[in-house]
């Protein structure tokens, strides 16, 4: 799948755009599959975390993330929740920011893509010996609503030693600067990770809800980011 020139570019910049991985029909099938999952999803009657302060919200989200790490979970945009009642204020299909975290375990269409020969070839070319799928997610960019996604590295949330992680992002629609394409700082992959989410080793604090410890903040130069616009079916890794 990858030429040596592409591998060198990936190692230098930290990201790489590849040509068509999926056909437009395959993209359509994945979108239909997500629609089916949402149809079968029954939202909780009340989202109590909406009433918490910002610090407690962060821990509440972390607690939920740890609890649902291997289950099908639906992430809801805060603006889609009525602050007076804690209930959805719009159609559930227009309320989500993501579905995860192991989507490949819950629908055959996503399983087929995740374990496809094309994906296997990519990670083989990047010299993974025993690659493992840690998470698969479907990301939404809803019209008119949506919290800002803070600048971050995936190694903040998914970490191993020695650090060797690759994210494969597939566009199911054309992604532009007007509808939420990815932005990167070329070469930032060469700097060590500073911010980590670490499972709290204090069992009592963990049981009381402080499930993660957040290490120091990462600092980014906003002027260094470059947008990566791609067509449907192509991938960024």
What band does 172 get if pLDDT is binned at 50, 70 and 90? Answer: very high
> Is pLDDT at 67 greater than 80 in this prediction?
no
Q: Considering the entire predicted model, what is its pTM?
A: 0.90
**pLDDT at 221 (0 to 100):** 94
> Is pLDDT at 46 greater than 80 in this prediction?
yes
How many alpha carbons fall within 13 Å on the CB side of residue 83?
A: 5
Flag the least confident range among 59-73, 100-114, 152-166, 219-233: 59-73
Q: What is the pLDDT of residues 136-165, one digit of tens each?
A: 999 999 988 988 888 999 999 888 888 899
Fold of 4-236: Jelly Rolls (2.60.120)
Q: In this structure, are residues 9 and 154 in contact, taking their beta carbons and an 8 Å threshold?
A: no
**pLDDT at 120 (0 to 100):** 95
């Amino acid at each position: 799948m990858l030429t040596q020139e592409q591998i060198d570019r990936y190692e230098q910049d930290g990201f790489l755009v590849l040509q068509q991985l999926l056909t437009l029909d395959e993209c359509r099938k994945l979108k239909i599959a997500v629609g089916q999952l949402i149809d079968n999803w029954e939202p909780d009657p009340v989202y109590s975390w909406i009433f918490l302060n910002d610090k407690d919200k962060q821990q509440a989200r972390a607690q939920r993330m740890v609890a649902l790490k291997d289950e099908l979970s639906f992430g809801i945009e805060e603006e889609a929740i009525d602050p007076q009642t804690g209930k959805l204020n719009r159609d559930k299909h227009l309320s989500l920011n993501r579905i995860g975290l192991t989507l490949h375990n819950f629908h055959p269409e996503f399983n087929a893509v995740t374990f496809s020969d094309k994906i296997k070839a990519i990670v083989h070319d990047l010299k993974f010996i025993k690659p493992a799928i840690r998470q698969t997610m479907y990301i939404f960019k809803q019209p008119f609503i949506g919290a800002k996604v803070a600048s971050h590295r995936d190694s903040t949330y998914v970490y191993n030693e020695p650090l060797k992680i690759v994210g494969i992002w597939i566009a199911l629609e054309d992604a532009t600067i007007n509808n939420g394409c990815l932005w990167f700082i070329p070469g930032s992959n060469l700097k060590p990770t500073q911010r980590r989410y670490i499972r709290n080793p204090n069992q009592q604090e963990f049981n009381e809800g402080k499930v993660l410890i957040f290490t120091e903040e990462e600092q980014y130069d906003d002027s260094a980011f470059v947008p990566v616009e791609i067509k449907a079916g192509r991938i960024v890794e």
